[in-house]
Structure 1
Amino acid sequence: MKNVAFILSAFLFPLSLFCQTTEFFTADWKKTKNKEKASYYRMIAYGANGQPTGIVNDYYISGQLQWRGYITSIDKNGTETRSGWCTWFYPNGQFQQQSFYFNGRLDSTTYYWNENGDLTGEEDYKDNVLHGAWIRYFPNKKPRLVAAYNNGKLVGNVYLEYDENGIPAAVYPEFFDNAAEWTLFNGKDYTSEVKERKLWLNTRTGYYRTYGYKYMKLDAAGIFSIEAAVTLDKAGSGFKSHGIMWGVKDQSNYDYFIISDQGSFQTGYVQNGIDVKTLAWTSTSAIKQGKSPNLLKVVKANNEYIFVINGQVVATAPFQPLMGNYAGVTVASGIERIYVDRFIVQQEAGAAPEEKNTPTVGDVEWNASGSGILIDRNGFIATNEHVIKGAQVIEVEFVKNNVKYTFNAEVIKADEAQDLAILKINDTRYNAFKPSALPYGITTNLLDIGSGVFALGYPEMWKLGKNIKFTDGKISAQTGAQDNPYWYQITVPIQHGNSGGPLFDNDGNLVGLTNAGFVGQMDNVGYAIKSSLLVQMLGSSFPGTYTTPLNIIKEKPLTEKIKILKSYVPLIKVKLKDQYINK
């Protein structure tokens, strides 16, 4: 994203030297010669070729500026080709929108404001299609909706929706544009298909159920919801029912929430082909009759399900363990044809209140852990090679403003000899977390013996918990074990789990990565890889040119430095390949 203040200053252009004319427009921007019918007027100059030249200014009829920018050409139909930065204004003079055009097509970032002057949204474009970040803000300027696009396509088919406390949820909208993503069933008596940007389910005899579902792995430990807008298109005689299904393993194992054409609903689950009803058929006025769509929603929170029909909570039931990783829609009984044109799955996006105790049962799948430091705002993390050696899955966990964020990561560079590794976050959810800049500096100057330093990290996660830990000490030698010139010897206490974490000097500069200690053997002896070796590695492996960050915390007291820096120090959790376990 470009700096807004800088962009706005670009409009301090000199006025055109050509003679300007005044043109009038109606409320729908049709040119008119009748000033009395005009809602806007334009100040524009034309060159010798009959096309606009210089800056064009549009005004509300009141005289307040409405739009300013460049128009390079206007065809005989009145279609304008814009170029460069163009800005729209509210009648009160506040900025409304600012967009950049290249040869008449949107490019770069478009900004939106409300009438109070608050930034409400940003959109990145390339060649007139969404390409990059898409953000909407709360009035307090915190993100409300965040998405990433690649050539007009929603990346990962997911966007983030935040509440006002900054807690995000991942939202997976369904566009019904790829039938291959759906498991569909077709036979003599039933069909399911994706067409016309809808999911269609049809039963001809009523003897069989039919289904349509897609892969959608839900986090049973968190909060999630599934909603679908279901419309009854055609119906035969007799009792009919349909609804949503989730935790689907196959046609014999799933949870369901269905409604009938007689104004009742039922919830339950099918396990090994046996239908277990958690709530029997219950009448409700919330169900719309006929061909009106019904919006069904199930929310899982606090170990219970909440069932909602058209915005009205109709029931709750205990949470049942999920049996599979698919979700979709079913016709459960009767002869009918239905379609679904809205299907959205939403779940927590790796954010929850910071834990105050030791790891939960969910952590047992992780075989190893360590620490790291975000060394570039675009998701690059430095750590030790031995932390991620043999990794099958890597997850990095940040805590910011007492909120936990977890992201998937991958190794892009590893050097076993120097015990250094660079990770890259490969998770679309990171777009919402990504900082505008890093607050610390990196110094490659050799520190004197006796210089004060401190470490941040996650030692002994399974014993001490997942809250970040601070330890401090001195540089006790300018070389490491066996006089290794690339290491420092330090008195900072180092434990298992500190590996890969940052070592800072008292000014808040990164001076190394902690990587070894003698636990229970020699007191006050630890080691850290010097930042000069890290910078050298970044210079040879980082995409593009690596620029060291600017230290903006140097003058802050130590306690404030720690409060700021801890948001950039992730816990690294590793699931090892089988051959590396217990090695």
Structure 2
Amino acid sequence: MKLLKYIFPLLLLPALSQTTSKTLFYDSNWKGCEQSEASFFRVYETDSSGKPVGQIEDHFISGELQGTAQGAIYIDSNDDSNSKFFGKIVGYYKNGQIQFENWRDKDGNTLISKSYDDSGELVEDSYYSLESEFYRTDRHYRNSIKTGEGTFDSNGDIHGFLKLYHPNGYIYQLYEFNHGDYIGPFYTECDEFGKCELVVFEDFANDADLNDWPIYSESEFSSEIIWDEGLLLTSNSNTGFKETIRIPLNQSDDFSIETTVEFISGDQNSGHGLIWGFKDWNNYQYFLISGNGYYKIGRLYEGIRIDLTDWIFHPQLNQGYKKNRLKVIRLGDKLFYSINSELIISSDYYRLSGNHIGFMTTSGIKKVLYNNLIIRKELNISSKSEPTSIPSIESNWKGNGSGIFINGNGYIATNYHVVEKSYQIEVEYIQAGNRYNYSAEIVNSDKQNDLSIIKINDTQFKPLQLKYNLSTNIVDVGTSVFALGYPMALSIMGSEVKFTDGKVSAKTGYKGDVSTYQTTTPIQPGNSGGPLFDYNGNLIGINSSGLSYEIADNVSYSIKSSYLKNLIEVLPESINIPSDRSISDLPLTEQIKVLSEYVVLIKIK
């Protein structure tokens, strides 16, 4: 027996240590190669079947560490782009600074990726959800303040809103896209003090012709976009013509219209310039210049020409085949006209007859190149107090639900069905009488139990202290409970937290579902994802649904908080959950005041 005692462990040793060390060599494009041609080499272990085991290390050919991966599903020795890794993956610069970090699930799907410059400053981070075809990317200044963020579809095309930021954190520009296609014509632009305006900026630098200019090719006149240079108008006869696009301006809007125009060749005595408020050839306004240094301003109304000026010589005009900048500004009941930044005349404001704006030439054989068209109109909001919410163009939310802060650093619990088809999420809540709006993203989901955790990703968000307790204890039938949420907030009930109460009527839900409670607390559309509390201020569940009143009255279901805790424990980073019991002895009315500040309205597109 003693002999067997020592032989048996020895028999196990080969099985326990049967791994093989492997070294692969790759060129600068991470294609497999011979050592003499290599820029990198990889060292890792394999088991008896050849499967990678344990951590993988990559090195520069000179020996410095280039990267590590927690594990690999498959390693391709010929083309590393086909390799599949899991866990945490880290890449390094030669100086030892981290170049990038990725977190991947057990199947190799990327959850979070971050990139850094060679001094260690965060440059870009992206967040992915397996429950959505979209992912979100943030870019940063050297001090880690966000320069911009956008949501992308599975093809890498931007979808939804692209936001750019000033260094102080206020929005600089805001664009909207639909699977890579720009939704114009206006984007939002704000200064560093929070004053915003809507802008059309056409510089003809995009070969997609985003503004759909009506290009002409006629014997008497033609137009052509020369990319990165401008829109070329060519007149081959004594017939003038125009190039306009539809840009809606309200009669009450202050606005400006400007262009830089270059006279290329031809008759210097005829006019060319800006045209706006164009309805038809009987109704429009114009600001024209000529190659020999004259300008003319006026309008046509119902076919009647009303000249503000006749042709007037002005020394500020660059004569001959040169560039000039024309601008017209509407401020209140006045119009101001400038040439090359010098004010030349003002007039009363004339109502617009139409919504087309662009360029025109009068009679004469000539070529004129318009380098750009810039239109600005006022936007009476500020980006200062709510830097991620521009309501004038972001107001068309497709749905809403409720949520509850589960961590002071911006983590929020809600229902999976509230956010599952979203490409843009915004949360809104009220604290100390102030209303806050921030963008958020999905960080983890449990589709089976209808739970999701989202996180605020706005640099302006300030952490909260949560004064409640997340309890995973099963409560008894008959326990008094209450729900907080935002039912029908986007339609008839308004964006204010609503209270409903009831009792736990069963410890299992629909058809005996053990993951939910059945309660008599009324749950209406929009309440989904909100919290269910007992009267001691303990979070015991997340409200999910209610039965139709045609089937049964006062029957609702809430997901037990133990299932929420399970989801929290598999987040990409560890977070503390609320454990404060300080409000347990407060009257219900006072508890509601405290807890309402942690309940959020979730708006989605």
TM-score in terms of structure 1 length: 0.50
Q: Shift in Å at residue 499 of structure 1?
A: 3.3
1:343 partner amino acid: I
Q: Residues 363-415 of structure 1, C-alpha deviation per residue, up to 9 Å, x if partnerless?
A: 9999x844143889999984463x689x8998867467877969899999895
Corresponding residue number in structure 2 for 1:271? none
Q: Residues 314-360 of structure 1, C-alpha deviation per residue, up to 9 Å, x if partnerless?
A: 554557786xxxx8632253445142246356786998999xxxxxx
Corresponding residue number in structure 2 for 1:194? 226
Q: Structure 1 residues 217, 159: CA separation in 2 closer, same or farther (over 3 Å shift)? A: closer
Distance, in Å, in 1 between the alignment partners of 2:304 and 2:411 is 45
Corresponding residue number in structure 2 for 1:457? 486
Distance, in Å, in 2 between the alignment partners of 1:419 and 1:348 is 40
Asked if the contact 2:547–2:555 (Cα under 8 Å) also holds between the matched residues in 1, the reply is yes
Q: Shift in Å at residue 258 of structure 1?
A: 3.2
1:296 partner amino acid: K
Asked if the contact 2:299–2:306 (Cα under 8 Å) also holds between the matched residues in 1, the reply is yes
Distance, in Å, in 1 between the alignment partners of 2:326 and 2:353 is 22
Q: Structure 1 residues 369, 144: CA separation in 2 closer, same or farther (over 3 Å shift)? A: closer
Asked if the contact 2:259–2:274 (Cα under 8 Å) also holds between the matched residues in 1, the reply is no
Q: Shift in Å at residue 457 of structure 1?
A: 0.9
Corresponding residue number in structure 2 for 1:102? 118
Corresponding residue number in structure 1 for 2:261? 231
The question of 1:294 aligning with 2:310 is answered: no
Number of aligned positions between the proteins: 419
Asked if the contact 1:242–1:333 (Cα under 8 Å) also holds between the matched residues in 2, the reply is no
Asked if the contact 1:396–1:570 (Cα under 8 Å) also holds between the matched residues in 2, the reply is yes
1:570 partner amino acid: I
1:145 partner amino acid: Y
Distance, in Å, in 1 between the alignment partners of 2:234 and 2:515 is 69
Q: Shift in Å at residue 526 of structure 1?
A: 3.0
Q: Structure 1 residues 457, 384: CA separation in 2 closer, same or farther (over 3 Å shift)? A: farther
Asked if the contact 1:396–1:571 (Cα under 8 Å) also holds between the matched residues in 2, the reply is yes
Within 5 Å, which residues of 2 pair with 1:350-429?
Answer: 369-373=399-403, 382-383=414-415, 385=417, 398=428, 415=447, 418=449
Corresponding residue number in structure 2 for 1:181? 209
Q: Structure 1 residues 547, 406: CA separation in 2 closer, same or farther (over 3 Å shift)? A: closer
1:330 partner amino acid: F
Asked if the contact 2:169–2:460 (Cα under 8 Å) also holds between the matched residues in 1, the reply is no
Corresponding residue number in structure 2 for 1:470? 498
1:454 partner amino acid: A
The question of 1:565 aligning with 2:565 is answered: no
Distance, in Å, in 2 between the alignment partners of 1:264 and 1:498 is 62
Asked if the contact 2:190–2:196 (Cα under 8 Å) also holds between the matched residues in 1, the reply is yes
Q: Residues 78-98 of structure 1, C-alpha deviation per residue, up to 9 Å, x if partnerless?
A: xxx99979xxxxxxxxxxxxx
Question: Tell me, which stretches of 5 or more residues in structure 1 are unaligned?
Answer: 1-80, 86-99, 113-118, 126-131, 269-274, 355-361, 425-429, 574-583
Q: Which moved more, 1:342-351 or 1:171-180?
A: 342-351
The question of 1:343 aligning with 2:343 is answered: no
Query: What SS class does the counterpart of residue 525 from structure 2 fall into?
Result: coil
1:179 partner amino acid: D
Distance, in Å, in 1 between the alignment partners of 2:577 and 2:282 is 53
2:501 partner amino acid: G
Asked if the contact 1:192–1:212 (Cα under 8 Å) also holds between the matched residues in 2, the reply is no
Asked if the contact 2:274–2:287 (Cα under 8 Å) also holds between the matched residues in 1, the reply is yes
Query: What SS class does the counterpart of residue 179 from structure 1 fall into?
Result: coil
Corresponding residue number in structure 2 for 1:203? 235
Corresponding residue number in structure 1 for 2:543? 513
Corresponding residue number in structure 2 for 1:39? none
Q: Shift in Å at residue 484 of structure 1?
A: 2.7
Q: Shift in Å at residue 495 of structure 1?
A: 2.5
Distance, in Å, in 2 between the alignment partners of 1:350 and 1:253 is 36
Distance, in Å, in 1 between the alignment partners of 2:496 and 2:327 is 42
Distance, in Å, in 1 between the alignment partners of 2:441 and 2:122 is 33
1:497 partner amino acid: G
Query: What SS class does the counterpart of residue 468 from structure 1 fall into?
Result: coil
Query: What SS class does the counterpart of residue 546 from structure 2 fall into?
Result: strand
Query: What SS class does the counterpart of residue 343 from structure 1 fall into?
Result: strand
Percent sequence identity over matched residues?
Answer: 14
- Give me the CA root mean square deviation: 6.4
Corresponding residue number in structure 2 for 1:445? 472
The question of 1:242 aligning with 2:270 is answered: no
Q: Structure 1 residues 244, 321: CA separation in 2 closer, same or farther (over 3 Å shift)? A: closer
Q: Residues 134-156 of structure 1, C-alpha deviation per residue, up to 9 Å, x if partnerless?
A: 6325xxx56252679xxxx9x99
Within 5 Å, which residues of 2 pair with 1:467-546?
Answer: 467-473=495-501, 476-477=504-505, 478-503=507-532, 511-516=541-546, 525-533=555-563, 545=572
Q: Structure 1 residues 494, 378: CA separation in 2 closer, same or farther (over 3 Å shift)? A: closer
Question: Tell me, which stretches of 5 or more residues in structure 2 are unaligned?
Answer: 1-93, 99-115, 125-139, 150-161, 386-392, 584-589
Distance, in Å, in 2 between the alignment partners of 1:438 and 1:286 is 65
The question of 1:143 aligning with 2:170 is answered: yes
Query: What SS class does the counterpart of residue 208 from structure 2 fall into?
Result: helix
Q: Structure 1 residues 204, 133: CA separation in 2 closer, same or farther (over 3 Å shift)? A: same
Q: Shift in Å at residue 455 of structure 1?
A: 1.3
1:495 partner amino acid: Q
Q: Shift in Å at residue 471 of structure 1?
A: 0.8
Query: What SS class does the counterpart of residue 211 from structure 1 fall into?
Result: strand
Q: Residues 87-125 of structure 1, C-alpha deviation per residue, up to 9 Å, x if partnerless?
A: xxxxxxxxxxxxx8528999675457xxxxxx9x76589
Distance, in Å, in 2 between the alignment partners of 1:181 and 1:263 is 30
Q: Structure 1 residues 161, 339: CA separation in 2 closer, same or farther (over 3 Å shift)? A: closer
Q: Shift in Å at residue 512 of structure 1?
A: 0.6
